[in-house]
A and B are shown apart, each in its own frame.
Chain A
Amino acid sequence: MFTFIFVISLILSIFGFASIFQKQALLPDLYAHTAFPGIVFAYVLFGIDNFFMLTVGALFTVYLFRFFYNSIVQSSRFSSDNALASTISGGFALGILGVNVLQNLGIKTKFDFSGFLFGNISAISQDELFNLTIFALFLVCLGFFLRNVLSVFIFDKEFLFLRSKSFYHIFKFLFELVLILLVVICLKVSGVVLTTGLFLIPVSIAMFNVTSFKSILLRLVFLCGFVSFVGLNISQYYSGVSTGPVLVLLYFFVFIAQRISYYLSNLKMWNR
């Protein structure tokens, strides 16, 4: 469990880093909210708690709502903020409607949508946990081998586009595909709303006052390891509290502590 949470937190942070640098920090929030109706409809269609099928459903709705988001932005009447707000709420409302239909049809199952809304890592079976950990480790290895291309993609998209258009489009597609897969995994850990927290907070802490990518990575490894260990222990100790919110809250406290200590040290320096 610890290995899974640690590796997933690390990968999510790296993807969060990419979305911050591309000035689309709230994009994971859009993906999380619009993946929810896909998961509900996949369940209606296939009727089984199969991760692969749920991911296919999530992929479909995320791409559909991404198209809607792009169309709203391109219509030039609205800012990206307004487009994001409308797409997030529209997607989530569709998910709620899906849950409503399921309830009305009287489908009684073990499947728990609240696990996707608020996160419930204890509901993941041991086999699934093992598979997801292997997948996460595979992503880490892939990221390590493609680190040069990845850094060019994050920091200078236009350069990659000018070098090779087809490679750029393939890489962009794969990058978004992995991002959506990670969002679906993250939904199981922290739920729809808190997914953004796992993407953004650790990397915001690690990026503070550091410019080198290696230092950021090193900070992330320590931070994710520490918070995953403490968070898991807390959620196991208090039975009513699920792991996802605890992890996000711990990261948030570290973030606040870091910023306060920085401003206090600056204040002391000014007083001297």
Chain B
Amino acid sequence: MESLIYVKFFLVLGLLIVNCIFSGLWFMKRRQAMVVDVVSHSVLPMLVLAYLFVGNLHSVFFVIVSLVCSFLVAVCVSFLSKLNLKESQQIMGVFFSGLFALGIILVNIYAKSVHLDADSVLFGALEFSVFEDLYLFSTNIGPVAFYKMAMLLILNVLTYKYFNPLFSLFSFDAKMLHLKGFNINWIDVFHLAILTFNIIFAFEVVGVVLTLALNVLPLMVARFYAFSSLKLLESAIMISFVCLVFSSLIAFSFSLSLSAVFVVFMFALLMLHVLFFDRLSLFKKTI
């Protein structure tokens, strides 16, 4: 029974990481990783408002309302930060902290009794997500979070399959795309929609800051071995899988938070690459 729970933890977090790799890919290529951070912080008040509006965290309407509201906020913040490129970091900082403050106050006033409390906002609630099972004709068919992540993965794979060339061109040369007659603002909005979808689902499992880590760290490590989108995705997923296996062993043996162990593990791997990869390859070339 205990091993089954570990498998559930592993599967849910594994799928979540793959989803985050897909959503983080474009923002990393565009060199705008902090947009992920801004969106993940800004969606909090929208989640609370959606909860107040619907009154239930497990309803489909809650998911729809929170997605729509969060998407609108993400578009507004991104648009405002682009109005003045010189102070875009400043505007981002102002908006994410202001909206997060609003979210924290709303959580403390209205949503303390449900598992949208202030601690789960920062740390996530992987434990809750894994123990919420889905029943089909009164048969338990596994955690709800697993199916949510699987559906999101299908959406991510389809998006990648059909829009990869367009998005790649947009990441490297948006002006050329504009000259070809594409509306680059709509592509940006589409990127934000995909990101918001992924962030909303990642938010409840791993919390605000670790969502950013899952979007960025695996891809940064993979960047040392690959450059094209497909290779980057493959390498990031492979590296994450290996890291997840080791992190699971450590986390389950010492009763630690699996997501935190995974992120620390990935960060340590990134630093090893940053500090030694180039020196090692230079050494190999010399030999």
Contacts and interface: CB of A to CB of B under 8 A. Distances in A.
Contacts of A25: 87, 89-90, 92-93
B185 to A, nearest CB: 20
| B119, B213, B224, B264 pick with most chain A CB within 10 angstroms | B264
Contact of A252 (B94, B220, B223, B270): B94
Given A81-B31, A97-B261, A90 B109 contact: no
Interface string A219-252: 0000000000000000000101110111011011
A86 B270 contact: yes
- Grouping DSSP codes into helix (H, G, I), strand (E, B) and loop, the B interface class, with mixed when no group exceeds half, is helix
Interface in B70-122: 87, 89-94, 96-102, 104-105, 108-109, 112, 118-119, 122
Given A90-B263, A194-B101, A197-B97, A100 B108 contact: no
A19 to B, nearest CB: 9
A85 B105 contact: no
A89 B216 CA distance: 9
Contacts of B241: none
A93 B264 contact: yes
Contacts of A197: 93-94, 97-98, 100-101
Interface in B179-215: 208-210, 212-213, 215
B258 to A, nearest CB: 10
Given A101-B256, A201-B97, A204-B90, A88 B212 contact: yes
B283 interface: no
Contacts of B37: 85, 88
Nearest to B97: A197
B255 to A, nearest CB: 6
Interface in A81-102: 81-82, 84-86, 88-90, 92-94, 96-97, 100-101
B68 interface: no
B1 interface: no
Interface string B248-287: 0000001111011101101100110011001000000000
Interface in A74-126: 75, 77-79, 81-82, 84-86, 88-90, 92-94, 96-97, 100-101, 104, 114, 117-118
A96 B260 contact: yes
A251 B224 contact: no
Nearest to A117: B122
Nearest to A244: B101
Contacts of A89: 209-210, 212-213, 216-217, 263, 267
B123 interface: yes
A85 B208 CA distance: 12
| A75, A90, A204, A255 pick with most chain B CB within 10 angstroms | A90
A255 B254 contact: no
Contacts of B274: 68, 71-72, 75
B164 interface: no
A55 to B, nearest CB: 22
Nearest to B224: A77
A193 B96 CA distance: 9
Contact of A201 (B32, B94, B259): B94
B118 A249 contact: no
Given A84-B34, A93-B263, A252-B101, A196 B96 contact: yes
B173 to A, nearest CB: 16
Contacts of B109: 238, 240-241
B263 A196 contact: no
A74 to B, nearest CB: 9
Given A97-B257, A201-B97, A241 B108 contact: yes
B213 A200 contact: no
A85 B97 contact: no
Contacts of B275: 71
Contacts of B16: none
A193 B257 contact: no
Nearest to B211: A89
Contacts of A249: 98, 101-102, 105
A88 B216 CA distance: 11
Given A86-B267, A197-B100, 10 more contacts: A25-B87, A25-B89, A79-B31, A90-B263, A90-B266, A93-B263, A94-B264, A96-B260, A104-B254, A194-B100
28 contacts: A25-B92, A26-B89, A26-B93, A71-B275, A79-B31, A81-B31, A81-B33, A81-B34, A85-B33, A85-B36, A85-B37, A86-B213, A89-B263, A90-B263, A92-B210, A93-B210, A93-B213, A96-B210, A97-B261, A100-B257, A117-B119, A193-B100, A194-B100, A200-B97, A201-B97, A204-B94, A245-B104, A255-B94
The 8 A-B residue pairs with the shortest CB-CB distance, nearest first, are A252-B98, A197-B97, A90-B267, A89-B213, A93-B263, A79-B31, A85-B33, A248-B101
